[in-house]
Structure 1
Amino acid sequence: MNASPEIITKNDLLQLQLPTTIDEVINQLEKIITYCEINNNCAGYFAVLYHKVTCKVKDCITNKDFEDGIRMERLDVTFANRYLAAFYAWIAGKPTTQSWKIAFDSVAQNKPLVLQHLLLGMNAHINLDLGIATALVMDGFSIDDIHKDFDTINSILASMIDNIEACLTKINPLMLLLNLNIYKYDEMLVQFSINTARDGAWMFAKELSLKKANDYENCISTRDESIQQLGSSIANPHGFLLKFIVKLIRLFEKKNIAAVIKLLGN
């Protein structure tokens, strides 16, 4: 990723209009990453992961790997705008969904591990936002028509896990010494997995597609509360042994946030 070298301020970000194309999504993610690097903001961890995923989705659209590339770009933009709107609301001091609030609260605390920050972002975005975006894009159509492309976009995310794992061992060599790869460690944290998130997001999208008016909003609120609780278990793992391991690993993690963001972006 070649992020813009210009100085990006909070006001610059708040003046942006939400994207309408995948290229605009990528551009705004790069601005957020630059902003986070400049301000040593842990929110950049998830932003740089999301940038990688979005670039990969763009490549897959170009290569016609999806059944309907035009529809997939619309889903990608609608999906991304959920995150971007939440991020801009957060830096402006405005309310967000509960799922994103706990993710952003962890940024303010600056205590969770890099992996916890990534999982908290994935938790809010996949478990809540993806279902909402899918239902919106398929409004007026059979939601089952997008199921194959829905699985493909999640497979893209899953395929990048090895890359994330390699980055995490550079950020914290102790994880390599303890053989704590990302699958084992995120299972220790909360039994959170890409496949589980994907399946849950699809069921939520199907349920939401059948709701109207107040039932639609209530369905989102109920889901948001549930995902917030899952986020809480990621941010604050239970059990003496797990808490001890988290504290131990934290001691060895790189403390330079901008450097970590750059490592995750490689």
Structure 2
Amino acid sequence: MRDLDGGWPSSDGVAVFNRVYLEVTEEVARRVGTGGFQDPVAAGTLGVLFARRYFAAVDAAAAGRPVPACWRPLFQLRRHPGVRPLQFALAGINAHIGHDLALSVVAACQALACEPAALEGDYDRIGEILGGMEERVREELMPGPDVLDVADPLTHLAGSWSLEAARDGAWGAARVLWGLRGLPEVAEEFAERLDAGVGLVGRCLLTPLGRGE
């Protein structure tokens, strides 16, 4: 993530998300190292599988290959001058949490030979870290009170998306996918529809609002 950050302009929408994700990853790694998780191996496995999905999207975009629907709006609009930094950050978080996290939980359970319930405690701990980071992102990337008022479209757009709701949805989707593992065709269709739905939310989050003052 550090290498990626150095290769993109700071205003690039994917770079905005990458900086946020780097902070989250560093905090998760710090807590794994200090015993902040119930099962450090399981938490580490989930974190690695989770990150790989983001890197796969980056690699696909760089190679000109299609990226998952959940990531497509961010990569397509990453240089749009009318999209604000907070929108880029939230769109990336939406894609990674709403879609990638659910599939990563299932992959981690398969790798660790465990049920999703075995990961729930550490899943919630990661959620607490994400919640704290989201607050910081909103504070850092929202315009100051001198230029922001209740009528500002960014205020309404940012308030329309909830990390907690996205995390809850991802956990529910992971449990459904786990339950469908004996029905691969149904599971694949469910995952594709999840991907498309999360991408639709991302497209809305990236509605151009014009340049900030």
Q: What TM-score, normalized by structure 1, do the two folds share? A: 0.72
1:209 maps to what in 2?
Answer: 178
Q: For 1:51-70, list aligned pairs within 5 A.
A: 51-70=22-41
Q: For 1:83-232, list aligned pairs within 5 A.
A: 83-139=54-110, 140-169=113-142, 172-173=143-144, 175=145, 177-178=147-148, 188-189=157-158, 191-212=160-181, 213-232=184-203
Partner Cα separation in structure 2 for residue 110 and residue 151 of structure 1 = 36
1:37 maps to what in 2?
Answer: 9
Task: Give secondary structure in 1 for the equivalent of 2:188.
Answer: helix
Residue ranges of structure 1 left out of the alignment (5+ in a row): 1-28, 238-245, 253-266
What's the % identity of the aligned pairs?
26
Partner Cα separation in structure 1 for residue 55 and residue 82 of structure 2 = 23
For these two proteins, the number of residue pairs brought into alignment is 207
Alignment deviations for residues 132-167 of structure 1 (CA, whole Å, 9 cap, x no partner): 000110124211111111111011011123322332
Residue ranges of structure 2 left out of the alignment (5+ in a row): none
The Cα shift of 1:178 comes to 2.5
Moved more, 40-49 or 123-132: 40-49
The Cα shift of 1:185 comes to 5.0
Q: What TM-score, normalized by structure 2, do the two folds share? A: 0.89
Partner Cα separation in structure 2 for residue 179 and residue 186 of structure 1 = 8
Partner Cα separation in structure 1 for residue 12 and residue 86 of structure 2 = 15
Going from structure 1 to structure 2, the CA distance change for 1:176 and 1:77 (only over 3 Å counts) comes to farther
Going from structure 1 to structure 2, the CA distance change for 1:204 and 1:108 (only over 3 Å counts) comes to same
The Cα shift of 1:231 comes to 1.3
In the alignment, residue 157 of structure 1 is paired with which amino acid? L
Partner Cα separation in structure 2 for residue 101 and residue 83 of structure 1 = 12
The Cα shift of 1:101 comes to 0.7
Alignment deviations for residues 205-224 of structure 1 (CA, whole Å, 9 cap, x no partner): 10111123222211110101
Contact kept, 8 Å, 2:116 with 2:175, in 1: the verdict is: yes
**Whose RCO is larger (CA < 8 A, sep 6+)?**
2
Partner Cα separation in structure 1 for residue 100 and residue 126 of structure 2 = 14
Going from structure 1 to structure 2, the CA distance change for 1:176 and 1:74 (only over 3 Å counts) comes to farther
Partner Cα separation in structure 2 for residue 107 and residue 66 of structure 1 = 34
In the alignment, residue 131 of structure 1 is paired with which amino acid? A
The Cα shift of 1:177 comes to 4.0
